[in-house]
Amino acid sequence: MRGFIFLISSLWLGQTAAMSLPPVPTEPIYFEPPVVQAEAGVRVLTCYQLDMEINQLHPYRYSYKPPFYEDGTNKLATALVVFDSVPLVEGWLGLGYLGYSALVDEKEDRRQIHVEQQIASLQRVKAEKHCYE
């Protein structure tokens, strides 16, 4: 009740102070991959050569690393974290491998994004040339 009376009295007396909002970060919070532009040498390729370049990149679009829950080594590392009782190690070996596994996943994701961008740039060149219309 006191706060309400203070608010009314301060509004009546005109002594309110403006509250400023904290600055909003302008940087993106999540990773946003840049759009890859086609190189000058790609623009001189024929439609068939563009198709061959795209076909050669397709096997690299996929990750051959098993998902987290299907990887037996991750299961072993988790078991080491939980059940390890060796005085010097005490689960740190398992935690280290889980961190390594997460880094490999991140590297695979970035590699796949890069290949997808290369394929997209080749497809844009193919569309600009009006191939197979």
Per-residue pLDDT of the chain in tens (133 residues, 90 and over written 9): 555 555 555 555 555 555 666 666 666 566 666 677 778 888 888 999 999 999 999 999 988 888 888 989 889 888 888 887 777 677 788 888 898 998 889 889 888 988 999 999 999 999 988 887 7
Q: Which residues contact 33 (CB under 8 A, 6 or more apart)?
A: 113, 114, 117
- How far is the CA of 43 from the CAs of 40, 89, 118, in angstroms? 6, 56, 13
- pLDDT value at position 110? 87
> Where does residue 9 fall: left (phi above 0), alpha (psi -120 to 50 degrees), or beta otherwise?
alpha
- pLDDT value at position 52? 93
Domain spans of the chain, in order of start: 39-133
